[in-house]
Structure formats: C-alpha cells, structure tokens
Structure 1
Amino acid sequence: MPFAKINNHSLHYTDIAPTGDQEPKLTLILVHGLGSTQNYYFPIFPYLANYRCIVFDNYGAGRSVYDGGETSIPSIAQDVLGLLDHLGVPKAVVVGYSMGAIVPTYLASTSPDRVVAGVCIGPVNPNENAASVFEQRITIVKEGGIETMANTIPNAATGSKATATAKGFIREMIMGQSPEGYIANCRAIAAARQPEYEKVKCPILIIAGEQDKSAPLAGCKEIFAHLGTEEKNKRLEILPGVGHWYCVEVPDEVGPLVRDFCGQLL
C-alpha cells in the first residue's frame, strides 16, 4: 500500500495506469467526500481506463490517519497539489465529490496553472445552513460514535435508484472512519467558504442528483451560474432518482459522463 508524506501527514493513495501500454493523455486526481474513502470512486474506474487516475484517502479518512493536524478545504487542496508534485504530475483534471467537490473550483481559482478542468460531483456550496448541519453531526458523533452515522446515512442520503448493496458499501466506508477524523472533516465543511467561482476559467462539469438532500440542486445551479468559465465549456448534468452517493448509486451513469467530458478535453 503506497503512502506519501504530504504537508506533514501521511496519505494513502492509489495510482492507476491506463490499460495496455498507452501513455496517459490525461491524468485525473480524485478527491472523495465526508464519510467515504478512495474506494468511493472505484465503481466508475472501468469507464476511465484510458486515463491515469490518482485517488487518495483524505487526511483523517480511511487509511490516512488523523493525528490532530489542520483539516480544511485549503489544506485538502494543498494535499492535492503536494501529491501531484510527489508523483511528478504538472497538471491534472481535478475530480471532487461532496466536500471534495469544493476543491476543483477552489484550485481552479487559486492555482489555475495546475488544473486542466474540474468535475464536481454533488458539490457542497458552502453556506450557513450547511455549516449548521455539520455542526450537528459533530455533536451526534461525539455522543454516539461513528456507528450513529453508519446506521442512518446509507438510507437518508441516497436516492430511489440505490440498491441494498450500494447502501451496504456506503455503510462500510462510514464504519471505517475514526470519530476524530470524521469530526475534523465535519469542521472543515462547517468552516468552508465559497471559492471565488467567477475566477474559474477552465472547463467544468457539475453532476447533480435530483434527490440529493446533502448538496441540493439549487446549490449546484448557483455554482454553475457564477462560474467564470465560458458557457460552451461548462455543463450541468442532473441525474433523476439519484441522492448524494453518486458513484456508488449509479456508477454506470456517472462514469460515462466523466469519461465523455474528459474525452472532449483532448
């Protein structure tokens, strides 16, 4: 299992080469969300076989053990750049989900030379209401442990298309979190501020779920409307019957969207 020392903490990552002997025409780096791990993205990787895909456990999640350091959207973004530097990648398509989906627009607005394009899957649009929700989760986990989230999120945060198998996978990812790491990442969302969307100029794909309560469609539309990207280079795709766990609920819908968007960048 490869680990890299990035920004004073250890990150567990996986570096997936394209199929065959072909040189990668694009590199993707994928950032997961609260309560999940790098495994969240594996259901869509069969559709991304022509690209190099770098995926990692966020600091404080999965195998990237939390040891009391900073966790914030800017720090996660710096981990992305640090891991790209570690692997010798000058620029990449930045893919993010939920909390991690704040990162593509943040980096596109602050380090545009490192971002080929951004894919935002169920992006959280930081606001006071969202902050309140995650402050409440902190209290719940402190009082009842991580299992309180594992027993509720798989049903409460998925849509009508989610299967029992998908919900079991979600539960297992949540159960794999440490309470301390989960709470630190809740605080990162609660403290998050909206990126300067108007400074984003690169191509952007936003994938929204019709039944997503955690990153509601209205917030996705607001992000889309404020992007500085030219109209022809930005897309908003809305998936019927889908809640918040996109790549687990409907990988056969999400995977082709990401694949085709990346294909248009070549």
Structure 2
Amino acid sequence: MPRFAIAFCTALLAFAPTMVPAAEAPREPYGINLEGFSYPYPVNLLPLVNDGERLRMAYMDVAPAQPNGRTVLLLHGRNFPSSYWAPVIRTLTEAGFRVVVPDQVGFGKSSKPSGELHFDTLARNTMTLLDHLGIAKADVVAHSMGGMLAVRIARAYPDRVAHLVLTAPIGLEDYRLSVPPISSETIMENEDRLTADGYRKQLQTNYAMKLPPEQVTPFIDTRFNLKDSADYPRWLKSFVSSYQMIYREPVVHEIPLLTQPTLFIMGADDHNAPGRPNAPEALRARMGQNAELSKALASQMRDARAEVIANAGHLVFLDAPAKYDALLLEFLGK
C-alpha cells in the first residue's frame, strides 16, 4: 500500500469514535409515560379531563378469536405497568373473553397529573373508558392497589360489575391504624435515594417474589430507566401521591358491603403492607397477614370466598400461573 494511504488510514482511525459493543451501549431513557418500553398489545389513548387538567388514559383492548360475549377489565397494581398482565390476557382471550387493560392516570403509559390522585377519580376515569368502548358490564380482575380501586368501582357502580376477582389485593386493613402520617416531601426524598439494586431487593422482600431475576428486571427498568427523563420529578410526585391515596383512602370498611360474587386469590407468602417500615416496631408484625385477612372479610360478605395458593407471594398470578388460571376461569365460568 502507498505510504500516503497508510498515513491517511491511520489518521482516520485516530479520530474515529471508540466502538462500544451493543450490549454495553447506554440505553435511551424512557419517557415518564414509558415511551420506549414495549407493551404486549397495541396501546390506545383516551382523552380525559381531571380537575380541569387535560390528560390521556392508555389502555389495551384485546379481542378473542372466538368471543363468548363477555368482557374482563384488568386493574394493575402500584409498582407495575399493565403490561405485566400479559399471561392472564392470553388465558382470558383463549377462553373467549374480550380483555380491557388500562393504565390508570398516574401510571404506566397514561398521563402523570399535576394534582393529587384519588380512587374516586380513577373509578370515574375507568367508567368513562368502558362507556367509550360501549361496555355496559364487565368482570373485574384486579391486583394489589388495583384491588382497592376495584372495591371503589364495585361500590360506586354496582351495576357495571358482574364478578369481582381480587388478586393479592392490598387495603385489607386500614393502614392508618398502624402507620403514622408521613409528608409527601419525606417520601419523595426516600424514593429518590433508592437505587435500582435497592428497589430489586425491596420488591423481592415486600412481595416474596418467586420469579427469576430476568423476569424482575423489566419492573426495575420501568422505574429506573426513566430517571434521566427531564420530566422525572413529575413522575416521582405522581408516584408519591399514589402512596398517599392508598394511605388516606382505605376501602377495607367497604369490602363487607360488596354484593357482587367475589373471589380472593391470595399467595400464602404475601405479607405486603404499605408503610410498614414507618410503623412502630410493636405494630409491624401484625400487619400484612393478607391471607387470613381475606378469609375473615370473605366470611362477612354476601357471596365471597378466599383461595390461598401455597408457595406464592404478592405476584401470585406470575408465581403460580396454572393454579391461578384454573381458579380464575372456574370462578368466571359460574
């Protein structure tokens, strides 16, 4: 090769950017509405107005191949986007159900409002979605915080709910009786200091997770891959508001008043109790006895029962999918 060509190539290499293997390349941060994070089915957006603020509610509307004429509404928990319902969506659509899966305002791909979150507002939003889709009545299947919302929906709109499945719900006790009030500023500071590794340990401890690490990672990503977003402070404010909603708006006193056929599906190892670390030490041990609490509440209700799945935690439908699906389909088939 001529000498000038060698010199030219050497110069190019000197100024060329260092090649970084694809696996090590930094990821573009998600937006606070989880832009950049994929859902298992197409996502639609419903315009809403809450307290004078224009918002959008994201939802999946999944049609079965062979419809049975019924619709299931899936309600997610606080720490999870609605995409985690994917296995249950598949089970239900294969059984003929149309499945509607919203992200509540303040969560997932829905808008993060500037104001406070309230269960009554989320319930109205959900009814607006069903009206928009032309659904007069649905079976409601809810998890964790979604269970609290489902109770509020069933009480406020009893004619819209056919069956109610409360999957490892929180709100089976009034947390105000054990946990002192905490300012949003304090919670925000604590949440902002949390690392991805600390959050993984928190989920594994609080939720008694049985999932392999690779199945937990998407939950970590949906929180920490948006920390570099310019709108992260607004996401954090909304997330903290959801804790205050759970704390300030208990539903346990309404559960015995439910009239719809209701099934609790609990993980035997689920002892999740929001705010427990802030409770006096003498009260912490009695909090989060969720399987026993569900049985006690079911015994006070008109038409309810509680099923407890062994070796399962808070994410019972992912920890024990076969047992969960069997209970779910048997109950909805009645």
TM-score bracket for the superposition, by shorter chain length = 0.7 to 0.9
Deviant stretches of 4+, over 6 Å:
none
Task: Write out per-residue CA displacement over residues 13-69 of structure 1, whole angstroms, 9 at most, x where no aligned residue.
Answer: 0000012xx334210111111111111211222211110000011111111121213
Unaligned runs of 5+ in 1: none
- Equivalent residue number for residue 244 of structure 1: 314
* Structure whose alpha-carbon radius of gyration is higher: 2
- Equivalent residue number for residue 137 of structure 2: 91
Amino acid at match of 1:103: L
Q: Hey, what's the Cα distance between the residues in 2 that align with 1:23 and 1:261?
A: 18
Give, in angstroms, the shift of residue 239 of structure 1.
1.1
Q: Which moved more, 1:110-119 or 1:145-154?
A: 145-154
Give, in angstroms, the shift of residue 241 of structure 1.
1.4
Q: Select the residue among 234, 237, 248 that pairs with 1:191.
A: 248
1:16, 1:54 within 8 Å by CA — same for their partners in 2? yes
Per the alignment, do residues 35 and 155 of structure 1 end up closer, same or farther by CA in structure 2, a change over 3 Å counting?
same
Alignment partner of 1:23 is 2:67 = yes
Give, in angstroms, the shift of residue 221 of structure 1.
2.2
Per the alignment, do residues 176 and 255 of structure 1 end up closer, same or farther by CA in structure 2, a change over 3 Å counting?
farther
Alignment partner of 1:2 is 2:44 = yes
- Equivalent residue number for residue 175 of structure 2: 128
Alignment partner of 1:32 is 2:79 = no
Amino acid at match of 2:242: N
Q: Hey, what's the Cα distance between the residues in 1 that align with 2:225 and 2:57?
A: 16
- Equivalent residue number for residue 151 of structure 1: 200
Q: Hey, what's the Cα distance between the residues in 2 that align with 1:129 and 1:69?
A: 22
Unaligned runs of 5+ in 2: 1-42, 227-234, 273-287
Per the alignment, do residues 130 and 66 of structure 1 end up closer, same or farther by CA in structure 2, a change over 3 Å counting?
farther
Give TM-score scaled by structure 1 length: 0.86
The correspondence of residues 46-85 of structure 1 with structure 2, limited to 5 A, is 46-49=90-93, 50-85=96-131
- Count of residues in Structure 1 that have an aligned counterpart in Structure 2: 258
Q: Which moved more, 1:251-260 or 1:172-181?
A: 172-181
- Equivalent residue number for residue 325 of structure 2: 255
Amino acid at match of 1:171: I
Q: Which moved more, 1:116-125 or 1:242-251?
A: 242-251
Per the alignment, do residues 84 and 186 of structure 1 end up closer, same or farther by CA in structure 2, a change over 3 Å counting?
same
Q: Hey, what's the Cα distance between the residues in 2 that align with 1:133 and 1:81?
A: 33
Alignment partner of 1:119 is 2:193 = no
- Equivalent residue number for residue 11 of structure 2: none
- Equivalent residue number for residue 41 of structure 1: 85
2:187, 2:240 within 8 Å by CA — same for their partners in 1? no
Corresponding residue SS for 1:152? helix
Per the alignment, do residues 69 and 128 of structure 1 end up closer, same or farther by CA in structure 2, a change over 3 Å counting?
same
1:71, 1:185 within 8 Å by CA — same for their partners in 2? yes
Alignment partner of 1:226 is 2:300 = yes
Q: Hey, what's the Cα distance between the residues in 1 that align with 2:156 and 2:270?
A: 28
Task: Write out per-residue CA displacement over residues 226-256 of structure 1, whole angstroms, 9 at most, x where no aligned residue.
Answer: 32x23xxx22110111111223333333233
Amino acid at match of 2:271: K
CA RMSD of aligned residues (A): 2.6
Per the alignment, do residues 127 and 176 of structure 1 end up closer, same or farther by CA in structure 2, a change over 3 Å counting?
farther
Higher RCO, Cα 8 Å, sep 6+: 1
- Equivalent residue number for residue 180 of structure 1: 237
Give TM-score scaled by structure 2 length: 0.69
Q: Hey, what's the Cα distance between the residues in 2 that align with 1:176 and 1:196?
A: 37
Amino acid at match of 2:295: K
Q: Hey, what's the Cα distance between the residues in 1 that align with 2:297 and 2:184?
A: 24
1:31, 1:55 within 8 Å by CA — same for their partners in 2? yes
Corresponding residue SS for 2:104? coil
Task: Write out per-residue CA displacement over residues 140-177 of structure 1, whole angstroms, 9 at most, x where no aligned residue.
Answer: 54234264663333311333633223322332344367
